[in-house]
Amino acid sequence: MTEFEVIQNIKEELLKAEQKHPFWPDDILHQIAIVNEESGEATRAALQFQ
């Protein structure tokens, strides 16, 4: 994968995240809850992949 492709993938993921969470909360507790939810989904996908 080229550097350009990596940067393009990051930009695409950022756009998806901004669309999924258009109103990012100001307080740290709600922010970390969102991050934990996304982390859980990534973990589940990795476990299902193997």
Q: Given this model, what pLDDT does residue 50 score?
A: 72
Please tell me the pTM assigned to this model: 0.63
Q: Given this model, what pLDDT does residue 22 score?
A: 92
Q: Given this model, what pLDDT does residue 23 score?
A: 92
Q: Given this model, what pLDDT does residue 21 score?
A: 87
Q: How far apart are CA 48 and CA 1, in angstroms?
A: 24
**CB 21, CB 34: distance < 8 Å:** yes
Q: What is the pLDDT of residues 1-50, one digit of tens each?
A: 899 999 999 999 999 989 988 999 999 999 999 999 999 999 999 999 87
Q: Given this model, what pLDDT does residue 9 score?
A: 94
